[in-house]
Chains A and B, each alone.
Chain A
């Protein structure tokens, strides 16, 4: 159990760090979506199914959609 949780935390932090390094904003948004998804799994392990459901539907789906729409209306690459 603790190994699974450690693996998830390490993957989550790695996704967050890669959101810093990506020059392509779409890739960074997908990385932050990954952070939200893994956080939802961690919420489930912490016995918070309500919050896990909200995080999976809002944090991983709708936030990504809003970001992608905003990037489409502005600029894709960070200079």
Chain B
């Protein structure tokens, strides 16, 4: 019964989509606003990666809201799981020496790779979100591989999370007070194009986002892992 109703619903939706896709050709045109971003983005923001200049340059207020949504989701997850009492441990097998040593050996290079991704966010593909996710996956590896040291440093995660958010907002407020007076104004010099020290505030904000996202995602994993 449920499946039949589902199939009927899907057929109706599919009919609507097929009739509307006739009007939407693949791979021919792009929007006007995209033309502006691509043609002027190099001079206006100084970032080589146009996606970065959209995310952190033109639409950075939206990114601030998005990071806030991430923070709220982490808080909600903690609040939902907070009332569950800790049960006795299941019979888990201890990790072998080779596994735990290999995890401990791989942990710093993965952190370094994540840091590389978000520091070079304005030059190469990648940025704060991807780098933060890679850092969180390093913590997942530690949780799965080494049983005995499966707590992340609580104060370290809180400090890096709130410092990231604070740097983002403070840089935005500084941009509000000097220059052309709008929030998250790019007040630093643009520098030479396509080098590491370019694009004004964009690398700083992306590094802050990287710390914040990495701390939040690894906190989500930690909260889910905590009581078994």
Do A and B have CB atoms closer than 8 angstroms in the complex? yes
Residues of chain A having any CB pair with chain B under 8 Å: 49-50, 52-54, 57-58, 61-62, 65-66, 69-70, 72-73
The reply to whether B220 and A66 contact each other, CB–CB distance below 8 Å, is yes
The reply to whether A57 and B137 contact each other, CB–CB distance below 8 Å, is yes
Which residues of chain B come closer than 8 Å to A49, judged between CB atoms? 125
Extra A-B contacts (20), CB below 8 Å, given A52-B125, A66-B221:
A49-B125, A50-B51, A50-B125, A50-B127, A50-B130, A53-B126, A53-B130, A54-B129, A54-B133, A57-B133, A57-B137, A58-B133, A61-B133, A61-B137, A62-B136, A65-B144, A66-B224, A69-B221, A69-B224, A69-B225
- What number of A-B contacts does a CB cutoff of 8 Å give? 46
Which parts of B50-89 form the interface with A (CB within 8 Å)? 51-52
The reply to whether A57 and B224 contact each other, CB–CB distance below 8 Å, is no
Residues of chain B having any CB pair with chain A under 8 Å: 49, 51-52, 117, 125-127, 129-130, 133-134, 136-137, 140, 144, 217, 220-221, 224-225, 228
Which residues of chain A come closer than 8 Å to B137, judged between CB atoms? 57, 61-62, 65
CA distance in complex: A53, B137 (Å):
13
CA distance in complex: A17, B50 (Å):
36
Q: Which 7 A-B pairs have the closest CB atoms?
A: A49-B125, A57-B133, A53-B130, A58-B133, A69-B224, A50-B51, A65-B140
Q: What residue of chain A has the Cβ atom nearest to residue B223's Cβ?
A: A69
CA distance in complex: A33, B137 (Å):
15
| 8 intermolecular pairs with C-beta atoms under 8 Å apart | A50-B51, A50-B125, A54-B130, A57-B137, A58-B133, A61-B133, A69-B221, A70-B224
